[in-house]
Chains A and B, each alone.
Chain A
Amino acid sequence: MTQISAILEKCAGSPPNILATLQAVQAALGYVPPESVPQIAHALGATDSDVAGVLSFYHDLRTEKPGRHTIRFCLGESCLATGCKASLDAVERATGCNLGETSKDGKFTLEKVYCLGNCALSPSMMVDDNLYARFTPQTVVEILKEHA
């Protein structure tokens, strides 16, 4: 909570920006603890429901601790056209989690994303900030092994 206080001190600009504040909290903690909503609302001069509303709206914002690595698997049209579903199956088998879940060992959180802007070299996925392209069900599993 003290970590959140420090962030809030920096974010309480005028006018305060709820989204930017939640992004700052998530950058520091990896997620936004739901119990911190009243504290954030108070610091920004907003209501709890304003803050909770923004928190629930954006796909990026999470309320649970994620795995050590976040896989953003693209399900955009170009990736679908190049057979990404078979690679997604392979990723799900290798990590033991479905889209939206975190693996039991806490290593990976698997999320779906619509487009990473790598469409000329589909299929695509991002592990943390690293972009991967043109993988197959075989090579995609090798990519995951590079991440400890």
Chain B
Amino acid sequence: VKVYVSNDSSACAVGAERVAGALSKLKDVEVVRTSSRGAFFLEPLVEIDTASGRAVYPNVQPDNVAGLLAKPAMPFSEITFLSKQQRFTFANAGVTEPLSVKEYGFKALEKARGMDPQKILDEVKTANLRGRGGAAFPAGIKWQTTKDAPADQRYVVANADEGDPGTFSDRMIMEGDPFRLIEGMAICARAVGATKGYVYIRSEYPAAIRKMRAAIGQALEASVLDPKTFMLEVFVGAGAYICGEETALLESLEGKRGMVRPKPPFPAIQGLWQKPTVINNVITFASVPDIIARGGAWHASIGTEKSKGTMPLQLAGRIKNGGLVEIPFGATLEEVIFGFGGGMPTGSKFKAVQVGGPLGSIFPESLLKTRICFDEFIKAGGILGHGGIVVYDHTTDMVDLARHFMEFTADESCGKCTPCRVGSTRAKEILEAMLRREGTPADLALLQELGETMKLTSLCALGGLAPEPVRTAIQYFPDEFKAR
């Protein structure tokens, strides 16, 4: 009998490796190592084939595998966390073996090779695919700009410096379905006329680095990639959040300090080594194969008016069901947190939620009806960012959390803009004083003013948005700050 166990690093961190080892010692059992479904709260998850598709055994431990397969498995449909999702980008998650070229297929790339490059680009435009890294810029416009820029060399770069705490969808693609990223990048390269590509992966993801390198090697070996037309390489970061900002990433890729460049010129015209460069997030590229295979109109038929397609949301923090939820844009935060996420664990009461990483706003309960799409979030005073959702419970001290955000910014600022470099340090000091109960009535106004200055005078989103979680924490939980 065949059993499927994930080899995703999160799943292995709670014992999937040991479970797979124990299962492989059983008689007549063949263990297949797949990617993860992203239902991490059920890991280690063991799956088997049945007449009606896969069935599962959740939360298996190495010492209870004996006799496990004699028990009835749970039908897949009973796990509403998974069965209610609409998976496209993550269709292979938990199903396939990450490094099987044959299983993956590369059908979209094959189709793209028969298409005129401009036709590929037009499909991406029709799809209205917006960047999933945080800025939500239309990918088609970026690609067209690079294609139209006269140059002897163009580059395609995947931003896999997934630095926002609370996010892991890029990691899941790279570890679990690396060929999807490769395929998306190769299609882009054909569309814009690029012959060289890089995947810039953060060093905190050693398993993703290994998988991406192995996948590129296999794609070359299987002649899916031809090094003469498109050469793809992995470049490993060195622990700097700012390198998730596209211009800082390009500086880093060139081997320099990861300092933000002023824009314009935009990377699409002057990017890596000053050459036209398409730089997109991993999920953006991973969305491309389906757009080519099914057509741009298909993609544009999903989601809300201005946010098309699906969004892989990542549920984390104090929540019952932590994991990845891919659904069309348009659901409310409440539906995601209390529906898919199952709400709060026993003993915890909801206090606030932060969407969009450390630059995202703190939302109280009253904003839970906000719909998940780029524009509604901006209207509500926040950002959707890369889709990370971190839930905080009643034990969270908002002043200490605000201090954390400023410490993070002080640690991670590239230092180019004085308001970001110095402002974050000063704001951190003010909040530290408040935590020691040495705050003065002028402190809140000063914090506000520092935040405004950072926002107005920083080059990039780190300085510009870092004050937002602090501002919204003060706005929605003023008493905690006034009490200090």
Answer yes or no: do A and B interact: yes
A interface residues with partner B (beta carbon < 8 Å):
15-23, 50, 53-54, 57-61, 72, 74-83, 113-122, 124, 126, 129, 131-134
B interface residues with partner A (beta carbon < 8 Å):
9-10, 12-14, 38, 40-41, 43, 162-168, 170-171, 203-207, 235-241, 252, 254-258, 273, 314-318, 322-324, 354, 357-358, 388, 390-393, 395-396, 401, 404, 408, 411-412, 414
Cα-based distance from A45 to B401 in the complex (angstroms): 45
Shortest distance between the CB of B471 and any CB in chain A (Å): 16
Q: Is there contact, CB below 8 Å, between A117 and B238?
A: no
Q: Is there contact, CB below 8 Å, between B390 and A77?
A: yes
Q: Is there contact, CB below 8 Å, between A131 and B358?
A: no
Q: Is there contact, CB below 8 Å, between A59 and B238?
A: yes
A114 interface neighbour in B163, B207, B391, Cβ under 8 Å:
B163
Q: Is there contact, CB below 8 Å, between A23 and B238?
A: yes
Dominant secondary structure at the B interface: mixed
Shortest distance between the CB of B350 and any CB in chain A (Å): 11
Identity of the chain A residue whose Cβ is nearest the Cβ of B400 in the assembled complex: A80
Identity of the chain B residue whose Cβ is nearest the Cβ of A122 in the assembled complex: B316
Q: Is there contact, CB below 8 Å, between B314 and A81?
A: no
Dominant secondary structure at the A interface: mixed
B163 interface neighbour in A21, A115, A126, A133, Cβ under 8 Å:
A115
Beyond known contacts A119-B166, A120-B322: 6 more, CB 8 A cutoff: A81-B317, A81-B396, A114-B241, A115-B165, A117-B204, A131-B9
Residues from chain B with Cβ under 8 Å of A19 in the complex? 238, 252, 255-256
Cα-based distance from A53 to B252 in the complex (angstroms): 12
B255 interface neighbour in A16, A72, A75, A116, Cβ under 8 Å:
A16
Shortest distance between the CB of B462 and any CB in chain A (Å): 12
Identity of the chain B residue whose Cβ is nearest the Cβ of A118 in the assembled complex: B10
Known: A21-B255, A60-B203, A77-B390. A114 touches B322 (CB 8 A): no
B204 interface neighbour in A61, A81, A113, Cβ under 8 Å:
A113
What are 8 contact pairs spanning A and B, CB under 8 A? A60-B239, A78-B166, A82-B317, A115-B167, A121-B43, A121-B322, A131-B207, A132-B13
Cα-based distance from A56 to B59 in the complex (angstroms): 44
Shortest distance between the CB of A145 and any CB in chain B (Å): 17
Residues from chain B with Cβ under 8 Å of A60 in the complex? 203, 237-239
Q: Is there contact, CB below 8 Å, between A18 and B256?
A: yes
Shortest distance between the CB of A112 and any CB in chain B (Å): 8
Identity of the chain B residue whose Cβ is nearest the Cβ of A58 in the assembled complex: B238
A20 interface neighbour in B10, B170, B235, Cβ under 8 Å:
B235
Shortest distance between the CB of A114 and any CB in chain B (Å): 6
Cα-based distance from A119 to B166 in the complex (angstroms): 5
Cα-based distance from A21 to B238 in the complex (angstroms): 12
Residues from chain A with Cβ under 8 Å of B168 in the complex? 117-120
Q: Is there contact, CB below 8 Å, between B40 and A120?
A: yes
Residues from chain B with Cβ under 8 Å of A119 in the complex? 165-168, 314, 316-317, 322, 388, 390
Shortest distance between the CB of A31 and any CB in chain B (Å): 13
- B10, B205, B395: most-surrounded residue (chain A CB, <10 A): B10
Q: Is there contact, CB below 8 Å, between A134 and B318?
A: no
The 9 closest A-B pairs by CB, nearest first: A76-B165, A120-B322, A119-B316, A17-B255, A58-B238, A120-B40, A81-B317, A59-B239, A133-B13
Shortest distance between the CB of B368 and any CB in chain A (Å): 17
Q: Is there contact, CB below 8 Å, between A120 and B164?
A: no
Cα-based distance from A75 to B166 in the complex (angstroms): 11
Cα-based distance from A16 to B254 in the complex (angstroms): 9
Residues from chain B with Cβ under 8 Å of A74 in the complex? 165
Cα-based distance from A121 to B44 in the complex (angstroms): 12
Shortest distance between the CB of B98 and any CB in chain A (Å): 16
